[in-house]
Structure 1
Amino acid sequence: MRRTTTALLPALALVSSLALAGCGGGGDDTSKTSASPSSSSSTPAAPETNPMTGLDVPDGGSAIEKHPVLVVKMDNTYASAPQLGLGSADLVVEELVEGGLTRLAAFYYSTLPGKTGPVRSMRASDIGIVSPVKADVVTSGAAGVTIRRIQGAGITFFGEGSKGFARDSSRSAPYNLFTDLRQTATLTKAPKERPADYLPWGSADDLPGGVPARTIAATFSGGHTTDWTFQGGKYVNTNSNAAENDRLNPDTVLVLRVQVGDAGYLDPAGNPVPETKLVGKGQAMLFHGGRLVRGTWSKADLDSPIELSTKAGPLTVPAGHTWIELVPASGGNVTYRK
């Protein structure tokens, strides 16, 4: 045993010397290798972005909120004035309803206001509007046929009688239903993952040149017109029903020309209820920075995101607040001036 141990000593010494030589001779390479993880770990991660605006989440926060995207169906007639909570919305979609009037689908994710409304009823049109981000809907209710279709699409909604809802006695029905959105949000289930981007977000630098367009008039079937003027880098709705200090002045107005069909029932006044078909494709008009870029929108199915393009390729929407006008391709009209 003693002889075996003695015989191993030179071999062990040789291995040790080779190991030491390897460490000494490769010193520069080892230094370079160890520097790589250090430099990569010091590179800050890209900030997460709000799926409803494309803007960076402040202070390195997470883009996954404790609640899903909430969409409040809001009245948009003079009887609703002043609308409350609209200024806190991330994004707004304006859609045609019966009688040639429009209603708003106001999207809330980054900020939840208190008293919000007036809250009105859902339409089948809302399926294609809210499904891409798996939003929950805050509503006064809906016709039975609409509720069945909304439920069939797997959309969660909260109606009158739910937490946060109350009638304002100083207003006339049906324009007096409001909700404290922060309270209603406590009824929701927290999302497990970040919602998908509602629009293909990008930068203003990515936009084609377009043409000057500082005023916009979006006319829906039936005669209602929403007017916009580009002022101070934002678009101002000059015939808004919102409270003066509670308006959403978007960075971008995106007009999508859409097909409109018949929802298959009448409202209480006997008017046919229209259904906006937010699926397929159509003309798009993107207003940003006082200019207009024309393109095409497409949406493969009701829960698919909206895609935009020009003849040159994909078109993105500059990150920020966006107001989407779903103007009927037939019976509607969009005009603008320099």
Structure 2
Amino acid sequence: MQQRWWVWIAAFLTTLGMCAVFACSSGTRPERAPLGPDGSSRVGVPVLVAKIDNSPQARPPVGLGAADLVYVEPVEGGLSRLAAVFSTDKPPAIGPVRSVRETDLTLLDQFGNPTLASSGAAPELVASVDRSSLQNASADRQPAAYYRDYSRDAPHNLFVRSDQLPVGGGWSSASQLHFGPTPAGGLPTQYQEARYQDTVIGFDWSPGHHRWLVSMDGAAYTVADTGQLMASTVVLQSVQVYDSAVSDIAGSVSPLAQTTGSGRALVLRDGQAFPAVWSRPSPQAGTTYTTPTATAIPFAPGQVWTVLVPAQLW
């Protein structure tokens, strides 16, 4: 029987009390350094972030299996979009790429000044992207790096050649990746999911692969070049979501996810679920994840997925 992730949160909140949970977010933070899947330091290694289309028409993606970290963001229409962070390995082709959202400006600031690959941005957002710490390497700014795959329908067919983009700044020591052994206190779980209005992101634990198998809308999420996507660690992170000042061509308002502050989360690793508190004091800081008793929850080595779940849907 499917076990909902908020059931774990409710159990911990009932046991410990809301005040204890949120007081712990101001406790001592663990020492952290961005590490690659093999545990080696990524500090100073150039970072590339690609905005990847995750609508059903855009699947399967290309190059996503090489990402160190994948963020899932809510966008208009109840759909999702991905921000894939590459450092350890930058595949030759990545996509389909789509446009930047306002959420990205704060979310990605923690990485310093990475190269940001996208199809562009809404006119009212371009100036903000240019003023941010991100190196705007959109299709408008670096057209030679992008190409169309005409076996797919537009606008879900724009891809980028990573080796033709400007080199990004080095991975900041403030970013969130911290790997370590499995902590105590996990609750065994086989499946968890996060739901947007029109997207379901699922994670099935595979003991044989020792990974979470990623699914989208009930189907295995595969990459055209490497096959089934598998995460070593998954974070389901409750965030406040507001209407931004940007709308798409159909008039749908783009949501803005708030990724600074603190809130509830669920960390999945090693076939276990760890109810957590997330904390990020500023856009330049990485996010920490701790148990309700202020113990750090490290990640398992490998690809990390963080799903930004609107608090309204928690």
Structure with the bigger percentage of helix: 1
Deviation sequence 1:162-194 (CA, Å, 0-9, x none): 14211112211111100111222xx22554xx5
2:100 matches 1:122: yes
1:140 corresponding residue in structure 2:
119
1:56 corresponding residue in structure 2:
39
Paired residues in the alignment total 273
Selected match of 2:84 from 102, 106, 109:
106
| Greater RCO, CA 8 A, separation 6+ | 2
2:155 matches 1:174: yes
2:23 corresponding residue in structure 1:
none
> How far apart in 2 are the matches of 1:53 and 1:319?
11
Gaps of 5+ in 1: 1-48, 334-338
2:74 matches 1:74: no
Amino acid in structure 2 at the alignment position of 1:196: S
Q: Which runs of 4+ in 1 moved over 4 A?
A: none
2:307 matches 1:325: yes
Residues 214, 231 of structure 2: 8 Å contact kept: no
The structure-2 alpha-carbon separation of the partners of 1:252 and 1:296, relative to structure 1 and needing over 3 Å to count, comes to: same
Gaps of 5+ in 2: 1-31
Residues 213, 291 of structure 1: 8 Å contact kept: yes
Deviation sequence 1:34-59 (CA, Å, 0-9, x none): xxxxxxxxxxxxxxx982546433xx
TM-score normalised according to structure 2 size? 0.81
The structure-2 alpha-carbon separation of the partners of 1:319 and 1:176, relative to structure 1 and needing over 3 Å to count, comes to: same
Amino acid in structure 2 at the alignment position of 1:325: V
Two-structure CA RMSD over aligned residues (Å) = 2.1
Deviation sequence 1:220-241 (CA, Å, 0-9, x none): 2x23111110112100013325
SS at match of 2:163: helix
> How far apart in 2 are the matches of 1:125 and 1:98?
12
Deviation sequence 1:262-307 (CA, Å, 0-9, x none): 1113111111111111111110100111111101001112221101
SS at match of 1:87: helix
Q: How does 1:286-297 map to 2 (within 5 A)?
A: 286-297=267-278
Give the deviation of 1:202 after TM superposition.
3.4
Give the deviation of 1:209 after TM superposition.
2.0
The structure-2 alpha-carbon separation of the partners of 1:143 and 1:62, relative to structure 1 and needing over 3 Å to count, comes to: closer
Residues 255, 325 of structure 1: 8 Å contact kept: yes
1:33 corresponding residue in structure 2:
none
The structure-2 alpha-carbon separation of the partners of 1:172 and 1:199, relative to structure 1 and needing over 3 Å to count, comes to: same
Amino acid in structure 2 at the alignment position of 1:229: D
